[in-house]
């Protein structure tokens, strides 16, 4: 699942391609909205809220989408060949005279009134990359259930919005705690630093060029200089199973947490493990 910085980049690409332009084609290929026609309306803006995408359209409408694991938005020039997947995987097409945005495999796609956006994103905690960011609120949310595992608490978008599985693993490493440590077991200074570090990591990566698909791999900016050109060398632990820890040399371990692959260093990180 893409992290908040990748979703923000996707929003920026869509905004650049669509905002201020009149739609010349609109095709929503989900049963509930298959008859909706947005042709002739102007796209006002495209923004992200955590991992959610909000395309606001003239007339007080918002197209809400979420990429989850496999979804992708791609933008094409008028004569460019579409390469995001077979046509039966297309869920949305928004086009103007200069660009066509195509949404592939979107598990969430709904058209709602802009005034009702809270129905889609109102449950989210403070957005690490948004104007509503509030570190104190995010910290309170994170620590509200002391017995919950740190990894699960970081991924819960109701606590703070934007962290995905990659940053979860990296943040736990930087906090020197395993993802299975009860969040209440974190010393208070570490918990405070963890929240500020999460924001720093996403901010460090939000302006780096990424593809508009979910294939773009976020990089944790706090990692040391890579020892090779392999993508996993840009991260402390994520995707580095059995490879030496970049800090101590101990082989990195992996296991599932809430059905997601989770990585940690058994020497650098303390706390429960599977």
**Residue 49: alpha-carbon gap to chain centroid:** 9
Alpha-helical (H) ranges within the chain are 4-18, 118-121, 135-143, 150-155, 165-174, 188-206
Span 123-135, pLDDT tens digits: 999 999 999 999 9
From residue 158, how far is each of 93, 257, 258 by CA, in Å? 30, 18, 16
Span 196-217, pLDDT tens digits: 999 999 998 877 654 433 223 3
| pTM for the full predicted model | 0.85
- Residue 39's pLDDT is 98
From residue 105, how far is each of 72, 74, 85, 181 by CA, in Å? 7, 11, 9, 35
Tell me which residues are annotated as active site.
2-3, 51, 260
Contact 121, 50 (CB under 8 A): yes
Three-state DSSP at 56 gives strand
What's the CA angle centered on 111, arms 52 and 164, to 5 degrees? 15
Span 95-113, pLDDT tens digits: 999 999 999 999 999 999 9
Span 156-184, pLDDT tens digits: 999 999 999 999 999 999 999 999 999 99
Backbone angles phi and psi of 158, in degrees to 5:
-75, -20
pLDDT above 70 covers what percent of the chain?
Answer: 90
Three-state DSSP at 86 gives coil
Mean pLDDT over the full length of the chain: 90
Three-state DSSP at 70 gives coil
- Residue 208's pLDDT is 63
Closest Cα partner for 3 from 221, 194, 270? 221
């Amino acid at each position: 699942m893409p992290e908040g910085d990748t979703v923000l980049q996707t929003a920026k690409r869509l905004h650049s391609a669509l905002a201020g332009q009149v739609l010349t084609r609109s095709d929503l290929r989900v049963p509930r909205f298959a008859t909706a026609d947005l042709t002739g309306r102007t796209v006002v803006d495209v923004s992200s809220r955590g991992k959610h995408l909000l395309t606001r359209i003239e007339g007080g409408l918002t197209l809400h989408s979420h990429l989850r694991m496999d979804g992708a938005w791609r933008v094409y020039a008028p004569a460019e060949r579409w390469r995001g997947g077979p046509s039966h995987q297309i869920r949305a097409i928004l086009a103007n005279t200069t660009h066509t945005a195509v949404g592939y495999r979107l598990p969430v796609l709904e058209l709602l009134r802009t005034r009702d956006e809270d129905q889609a994103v109102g449950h989210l905690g403070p957005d690490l990359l948004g104007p509503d960011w509030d570190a104190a609120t995010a910290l309170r949310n994170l620590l509200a259930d002391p017995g919950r595992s740190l990894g699960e608490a970081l991924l819960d978008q109701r606590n703070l919005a934007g962290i995905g599985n990659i940053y979860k693993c990296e943040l736990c490493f930087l906090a020197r705690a395993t993802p299975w440590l009860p969040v209440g077991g974190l010393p208070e200074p570490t918990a405070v630093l963890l929240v500020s570090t999460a924001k720093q990591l996403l901010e460090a990566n939000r302006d780096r060029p990424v593809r508009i698909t979910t294939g773009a791999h976020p990089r944790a900016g706090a990692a040391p200089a890579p020892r090779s050109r392999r993508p996993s060398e840009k991260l402390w632990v994520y995707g580095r199973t059995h490879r030496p820890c970049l800090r101590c040399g101990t082989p990195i371990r992996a296991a599932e947490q809430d059905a997601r692959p989770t990585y940690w260093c058994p020497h650098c990180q303390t706390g429960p493990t599977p």
